[in-house]
Structure 1
């Protein structure tokens, strides 16, 4: 499954309480471009994504981070714990997890 630009643009637009027309105007893109992206008829190019991000005052990184789905609480705790490990410990943990999965 690919990245859903349309859903994420819609979410972003609603977050900033903008109509398609308003977002198109401040991002200097066509309203049909916004509509086509949100409806899934068209995928945006990098320039369009940058213009829309600039228009609402976020970076490309912010756009893609906001687009990530929320993790389940137990996965969030696991990730938070893994962040505290050294690179060597992370490598060991990765191998351990891969071994556990291979046994199933």
Structure 2
């Protein structure tokens, strides 16, 4: 539950932070891809030990890649949906101000 109310200008700034978060998560994803590539190269392919290593390393690396991809997607969606909600709040505020200024009707 929210501890304090935010203004629409604060919400806009806060939702913009999700895009920055998505960029940071994407950077982490690139580093994880590099680690996965290094694991595959370092493990080798020519012997039984290499096969056992890759059987253990590949699924974990893929799971981590999938998780980071999901975090990036959710961060972008939260930012986009938050900006849409903020725009609706701004529109509602503008419309309510206009209606209040027209009161009482002539």
Q: Looking at secondary structure, tell me which structure has more helix per residue.
A: 2
Q: TM-score, normalised to structure 1's length?
A: 0.22
Q: Return the index of the structure with the highest Cα Rg.
A: 2
Give the alignment's TM-score, normalised by structure 2: 0.22
Question: Higher relative contact order at CA 8 Å, sep ≥6: structure 1 or structure 2?
Answer: 2
